[in-house]
Structure formats: C-alpha cells, structure tokens
Amino acid sequence: MKIKLYEPFEKWYHGGTIWLYSDPHFQKDTEMEEFFKWPAAEERLARINKCITKNDTFVCLGDVGDRLDLIAQIKCDYKVLITGNHDKGNSIYEPYFNEIYDGPIFISDKILLSHERIDLPFCINIHGHEHCAESWFDLVGIQTVIGMVQTASFNIASDVVDFKPIRLDEIISKYPLKNVHSIHRITIDNATNNKLNGDK
C-alpha cells in the first residue's frame, strides 16, 4: 500500500518499498554484542538485506555507528538518515546516505519520523532509541482540554524488531491514519470548548 507523503518525500517510493529501521549501532567495538547479546554486526546487516531490494528506500532513524562500510553494503540504491544522539556530524555520513536530517521530520500531515519518541496527539510517531522494549507498537493516552486523545508510537529500535527493518505500510496497517486526530480538528475543538466554558 502506498502512503500519501508530502511531495519532497514521494521520491522515496521510486519503484520500491520504504523500509524503516533505527539504531543499527554498527560499531567497531562489540559492546552491543557482548553486553546486550546482540547478533554480530554482519549478521544484523544480513537480516536487513534479506528484506530490502535494490529499488527500495532504507530510512535509518539514527545511531548508525562507526562501521560505515556496513551501511555501504545495504543493497538498496536510496538511503536516508535522521541522526540520533550517538551520530557525529553529517559530513562523515554524506557518502553513504542520499538525504540526511538533523532532527525530526513530518513526511506527511500525520507521520512523524524521529530518533527519540515524541508523543503528539495529531500524528503517528515512528522512532527508535528505546532499547529492550517489549513491543514495537505503543498507544499512549494524552490528556487534552477536551479529554483523552490517543497517540500512537512505533519504536523500531533494531533489537525491538528482531534486527529487521519494518515497511512503512506495515506500520500504517497497525494503526491506520484515519484513527489519528487532525491537528486542525483538535485546535478547533479546543477553541470551541474554551469558548463554551467562557475561557478567554
């Protein structure tokens, strides 16, 4: 299923699928393998490449690591990076990624990509950063002026998703965009409620 994205991001489809993944931590040291009992970096790369094809887009939500030779071996032609808290300066990543963003980006009016979780009542937040979580899909209740609004967060940190990237359309199938309140509707309802309650 092709999700409607803002025009600058439509090129991510270019004949393939959009895959999302966070926190590969491809590092020269083996801390992740030893402390967290992760598979070796080469095995993690193999799991990514088992999913991805040449025409796909790979979107990494940060914490790449210093083994950039492994990023170069991800077999799709188009790669995007949203930097994480462990990433160091865009210039070292430029040869390996077609697009690099320093912070969160809205790729549609209801889809926010970020490294760290951002709970907003008017979008789905796809993020990483939170290792050792039990589930990659989280519904959170947020209190607003007019009552409870659910927010949907998808934590795709590599260890949470068994070191395999997740398709954007698979995420949207778990929590369809029609379930997300529009920022315009929330704003109008809040203003109406304030007026009815005599707030100025």
Domain span at 162: 7-196
Would residue 1 count as lying in a domain? no
- Is it the case that residue 19 has pLDDT exceeding 70? yes
Q: Domain holding 111: CATH number?
A: 3.60.21.10
Q: What is the model's pLDDT at position 145?
A: 43
Question: pLDDT digits over 56-86, tens only?
Answer: 999 999 999 989 999 999 999 999 999 998 8
- Is it the case that residue 33 has pLDDT exceeding 50? yes
Would residue 63 count as lying in a domain? yes
- Burial of residue 110 (number of CB atoms within 10 Å: 0-12, 13-18, 19+): buried
d(Cα 66, Cα 135) in Å, to the nearest integer?
A: 27
Would residue 2 count as lying in a domain? no
Would residue 155 count as lying in a domain? yes
> C-alpha distances in angstroms, 182 versus 11, 117, 147, 187?
25, 19, 15, 9
d(Cα 160, Cα 132) in Å, to the nearest integer?
A: 6
Would residue 163 count as lying in a domain? yes
Count of domains observed in the chain: 1
Question: pLDDT digits over 121-140, tens only?
Answer: 888 999 999 887 776 666 55
